[in-house]
Amino acid sequence: MAERRVVVAPGVGLHARPAALFVKAAGATGLPVTIARDGAPAADARSILSVLSLDVRGGEEVVLTAEGDNAESALDQLSTILTSTDA
């Protein structure tokens, strides 16, 4: 299992549009991917409702996990989305 700690881009957070982009990318990996925030259970990163329910704000750290072939590559891609201010 691959794991990555990522600080979400300041001022962005995982509100509707960035969360939708993240969830779409997580689903495209074809892998089971989770996202967790301190004090909250891990959520399925492929579910928009699960991701939005975490209420992740910009500047907060999240933990991404993925399992399977190319898990490290998938987490690299997802990390880039979370740290981008373009969303």
Q: What positions carry a catalytic annotation?
A: 15
How many other CB atoms are there within 10 angstroms of residue 30's CB atom?
Answer: 12
How many other CB atoms are there within 10 angstroms of residue 42's CB atom?
Answer: 16
Cβ contact 61:6 at 8 Å: yes
